[in-house]
Amino acid sequence: MPKQLIVISAPSGAGKTTVARHLLQRFPQLRFSVSATTRPKRPGEVDGRDYFFWSREQFEQAIARGELVEYEEIFGHLYGTLRSQVEQALSTGEFLLFDIDVKGALALRRAYPEQTFLIYVAPPSIEELERRLRQRGTESEEQIRRRLERAAMELQFQDHFDVVIRNEQLEQTLARAEQIVAQLLRGEVPTPVP
Ligand code: 5GP
């Protein structure tokens, strides 16, 4: 069975969004799985493209109706994968790319074990992650501290992923991610590189 649900996951700040954007540009047949979230929109984000921005009430109703495959509370906001996105992709044979957190990735694979492939983008180190978070400049000190704490927890999960890419040099990371996705799009299962 082809691995149609391709997940890029990583501790926040490890570079996964850069990788995801690159893959979406490189492979037009790949569609982005737009998640729902209760967090406020950041400058430049578009409702329905980056996320579906919902109120907590809307989100809780969707949970009650079973509309989410998985969801997590992250830094005080809810994030979840819409069942409709997944089911549509599976029924049309489309490939979907997910940018979701580590626990969400594992939950998605539990729900769709045959169709899911998990890619973990690992930061070179917690120190480097801290440097990148500061450089990004979108978070307060307190938010950075919470993200680093969470990253330490998330680093423990990498062994459960199908492949791990250590993001030391962005060019190499992008090339490796491209290679993996090209294989998946051909219906092959990528083999881990030591
Ligand atoms: P951000 O607020 O920076 O966009 O995202 C915060 C975290 O939530 C990131 O690690 C992102 O990958 C994760 N995330 C986004 N959408 C989902 C989702 O649908 N489910 C889960 N579990 N995590 C998500």
Which is nearest to 109 in space by CA: 151, 64, 70?
Answer: 70
> Which regions in the chain score pLDDT beneath 50?
none
Mutation to probe ligand 1, out of 32, 101, 108 (largest number of atoms < 8 A from CB): 101
Residue ranges per structural domain of the chain: 5-185
Residues with CB under 6 A from ligand 1: 12, 35, 39, 70, 72, 74, 79-81, 99-101, 104
pTM for this predicted structure: 0.91
Mutation to probe ligand 1, out of 100, 148, 153 (largest number of atoms < 8 A from CB): 100
**Which whole-number Å values give the CA distances from 48 to 60, 64, 97, 156, in the listed order?**
18, 21, 15, 32
* 131/113 Cα distance (integer angstroms): 35
* 44/40 Cα distance (integer angstroms): 12
Residue 128 is predicted with a pLDDT of 85
Which is nearest to 70 in space by CA: 159, 149, 164, 7?
Answer: 7
> What are the residues facing 31 on neighbouring strands?
96
Fold assignment, 5-185: Rossmann fold (3.40.50)
Residue 133 is predicted with a pLDDT of 85
Q: Of ligand 1's atoms, which has the minimum distance to the CA of residue 37?
A: 16
Residue 82: CB atoms within 10 Å: 18
pLDDT 10s digits, 64-81: 999 999 999 998 999 999
pLDDT 10s digits, 51-64: 999 999 999 999 99
Residue 194 is predicted with a pLDDT of 54
Residue 152 is predicted with a pLDDT of 86
Residue 91 is predicted with a pLDDT of 96
Residue 95 is predicted with a pLDDT of 97
Distance 79 CA to ligand 1 centre (A): 6
Q: Of ligand 1's atoms, which has the minimum distance to the CA of residue 12?
A: 10
